[in-house]
Amino acid sequence: MNQIVSPLDIAPNDGPLYASRKKVYPQRVSGTFRRIKWGLMGICLSIYYLLPFVRWDRGPTGPSQAVLIDFPNYRFYFFFIELWPQEVYYFTGLLIIAALALFLMNAVGGRIWCGYLCPQTVWTDLFYAVERFIEGDRREHQKKDRARLTVRRVGEIAAKHTIWLLIAWWTGGAWVLYFADAPTLVKELATFQAPVIAYVWIGILTATTYTFAGHMREQVCTYMCPWPRIQAALTDEWALNVTYRYDRGEPRTSVKKAAALRAAGDKAGDCIDCDQCVAVCPTGIDIRDGSQLECIQCGLCIDACDSVMRKIGRPTRLIGYDSEVNLTNRLAGKPERNRVIRPRTVLYTALIAVVGGIMLATLLSRTFLAVNVLHDRNPVAVRLSDGAIRNAYTMHLLNKRAFDRTVAIDIDGPEGVQVQAVSNDSLTPERPTVTLKGDATTEIRLLLTVPSSTELAASSPVRFRITDLGLGEVAMTNDHFLAPQ
């Protein structure tokens, strides 16, 4: 007889489904990886905060901001590049390259993005630096949190949150500067004359930065971000990840006991169980427990352990960037091997080169003149009193250059076709010309007329050719000339 088993009976010893957060107090550490992180943090924050103020000359009519997302005029400016809405596919290309670069980083050196470059890591690191500056390093901060509140302590907490909010506010402020002329918007913001939407976005960005970097910190990486899960599925045995070299570290023992064991010819691990690697970890984990989803691979435990190893006179890099292959080789008494060039890294690099190459080629060869036409639908064709057939079209002309220019319109179509442009003073019936405003779209109506002597098919192909009379640039588009039903 089948027995009904309660879920509670199946796993009586399983842990709770939800574990409340243990506050992390990462200890200050110095070393190679800490210096790299400070350097990258400085570069990333400088770019983010200062880029909107970098100027770029685009002539008297163009915006002078080097990087600008101009929503009202549907333009994106990036130094010498100006993208129109029709060229949104460049962003798709950029996203593909970004994803492939992430895969490549992962294949070479694990979560390089997470540990050094991700905005969550950079801002959290900055907020931790402020916290340590005001409330002291790990031990001092823990002690203060356990002690009773004093006026001085309340002042410290208030000062920390004030500075956090100021950083968060400036982060939100810098964000909106990418969407309008930065110096002008700063003045408008300061005098409360900026658009309401700017204040709304600053408020949203201030709140999210303060919450994510000040309060949620490592929980964003552990619970909210999908990349750790994807990264775990993409890694392989050759990828270099921050690893505790347990073959060298175990069995853990004190410095004295290790010396005695070695003197007696026995094996002693290099790990002295000092927990310094845990103390500095911004996610509060113990790297000696193996690779973990929580590990953002920031390398700070490497710095902490290296400094311990130097103090006790043992070789550094008990914790270091290492691969599963090396670990297996060392255990088998074989030499270490590193393979950066392997099928997946070659594939990712090749794909980045191909996508980047296509984007560059299209960017360099793109035209600054574009045309498209829309055939009138109601009616599609009209028979005139002399028997001629007329079709009407709406033509959109895009002048992507910053200056005005004059173009001529030529038609290749059924025999004897004549073109006439409507509502434009500068037109001639034989070969209409039109002046296009710089960096703008011009719309005109065109009438094509085919004489009654021409034998017309139900639908005949028509080519609209636009020629810049000054620069000689040409743009074309095709449509059809329709006979009445």
Instruction: By CB under 6 A, name the binding residues for ligand SF4.
Output: 242, 244, 249, 271-277, 280-283, 285, 287-288, 295-301, 304-305, 308, 318-319
Cβ closest to ligand SF4, residue 40 vs residue 274? 274
Q: Distance between CA 209 and CA 98 in Å, rounded?
A: 23
Tokens of 59: 């002539």
Task: Report the nearest approach of ligand SF4 to the CB of residue 37 (Å).
Answer: 10
Cβ closest to ligand SF4, residue 82 vs residue 306? 306
Task: Report the nearest approach of ligand SF4 to the CB of residue 34 (Å).
Answer: 10
Cβ closest to ligand SF4, residue 206 vs residue 241? 241
Task: Report the nearest approach of ligand SF4 to the CB of residue 300 (Å).
Answer: 4
Integer CA distances (angstroms), 178 to 60, 167, 219, 343, in order: 20, 17, 29, 39
Cβ closest to ligand SF4, residue 111 vs residue 405? 111
Task: Report the nearest approach of ligand SF4 to the CB of residue 235 (Å).
Answer: 14
Task: Report the nearest approach of ligand SF4 to the CB of residue 319 (Å).
Answer: 6
Residues for the chain: how many in total? 485
Task: Report the nearest approach of ligand SF4 to the CB of residue 96 (Å).
Answer: 29
Cβ closest to ligand SF4, residue 125 vs residue 479? 125
For the four alpha carbons of 196, 201, 202 and 203, in that order, the dihedral sign comes to: positive
Task: Report the nearest approach of ligand SF4 to the CB of residue 231 (Å).
Answer: 13
Task: Report the nearest approach of ligand SF4 to the CB of residue 240 (Å).
Answer: 12
Task: Report the nearest approach of ligand SF4 to the CB of residue 145 (Å).
Answer: 21
Cβ closest to ligand SF4, residue 58 vs residue 288? 288
Residue 187: alpha-carbon gap to chain centroid: 29
Task: Report the nearest approach of ligand SF4 to the CB of residue 243 (Å).
Answer: 9
Cβ closest to ligand SF4, residue 217 vs residue 390? 217
